[in-house]
């Protein structure tokens, strides 16, 4: 379980960029249709936000899923993750530990 936590925290460090890109996409794209023109930064253009943000987000998600599938298979071979409860706990721990670096960054940013 320690390896799971460490690996996902390390994946969460570059994940800060992915969370920021998702925030920018969600806050600027749908908000324009709700009437918040002040947030608009030319979202629809030659390089639309879906075209620019899609591939990096997809690559990051694929790497995260593949690493965690490998960790589940390692835990299954060692006997630690035999039932569905163990797999669910693994994925919840993976998601939670991936969110640690962005939450620490947001906490530090809120303090200063």
CB atoms within 10 A of CB 22: 12
Question: Considering the entire predicted model, what is its pTM?
Answer: 0.72
Burial of 43 from C-beta contacts in 10 A (0-12 / 13-18 / 19+) = middle
Per-residue pLDDT of the chain in tens (112 residues, 90 and over written 9)? 788 899 999 999 988 888 887 777 777 665 556 555 554 555 455 556 667 778 888 898 999 999 999 988 887 777 766 666 778 888 899 999 999 999 999 899 888 8
Tokens matching residue 10 = 């390390």
| CA–CA separation, 69 and 63 (whole Å) | 10
């Amino acid at each position: 379980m320690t390896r799971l936590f460490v690996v996902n925290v390390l994946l969460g460090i570059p994940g800060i960029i992915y969370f920021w890109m998702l925030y920018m996409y969600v806050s600027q794209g749908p908000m324009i249709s709700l009437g918040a023109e002040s947030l608009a930064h030319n979202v629809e253009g030659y390089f639309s936000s879906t075209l620019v943000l899609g591939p990096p987000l997809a690559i990051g998600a694929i790497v995260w899923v593949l690493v965690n599938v490998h960790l589940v298979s390692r835990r299954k071979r060692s006997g630690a993750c035999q039932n569905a409860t163990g797999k669910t706990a693994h994925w919840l721990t993976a998601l939670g530990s991936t969110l640690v670096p962005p939450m620490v960054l947001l906490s530090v940013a809120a303090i200063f």
